[in-house]
Amino acid sequence: MNGPHIDACIQALEPLCAKVAMARQAQLPGLAEVAKPPAGTALWSGGYARLLLWPVAANQSDVIARAADEGEGWLDALLAQTETLSTAPLDGYLV
């Protein structure tokens, strides 16, 4: 998913995240040893959670499963990195 479809997803998530004090990050953090985020990936951060929008290339079960695994791995790595700098646990949401 890219182009206008991913833009519509971002536009839908933006006000919802703002309501719970999560702001979209202008740039994704660099993470070693995980899948490179696909074009259109977006991250919102707040004091208690991270929400990751991970685009899926096609509506096929194998493509969706692979994207879910890659997105989950990336989000897990981000949370692990962030939690080492924080005293509070963080929630992670993969969309």
Give the model's pLDDT for residue 1.
54
CB atoms within 10 A of CB 19: 8
**Which of 70, 69, 40 lies closest to 53, judged by CA?**
40
Question: Are 44 and 51 contacting, i.e. CB atoms less than 8 angstroms apart?
Answer: yes
41 pLDDT tier (thresholds 50, 70, 90): very high
pTM of the model: 0.90
C-alpha angle 57-69-41 in degrees, rounded to nearest 5:
50
**Token pair in block for residue 36:** 């490179």
| In the chain, domain spans | 4-94
Per the model's pLDDT, the better-predicted residue between 87 and 56 turns out to be 56
Give the model's pLDDT for residue 84.
78
Judged against a pLDDT cut of 60, whether residue 77 lies above it is answered with yes
Coil, helix or strand at residue 20: coil
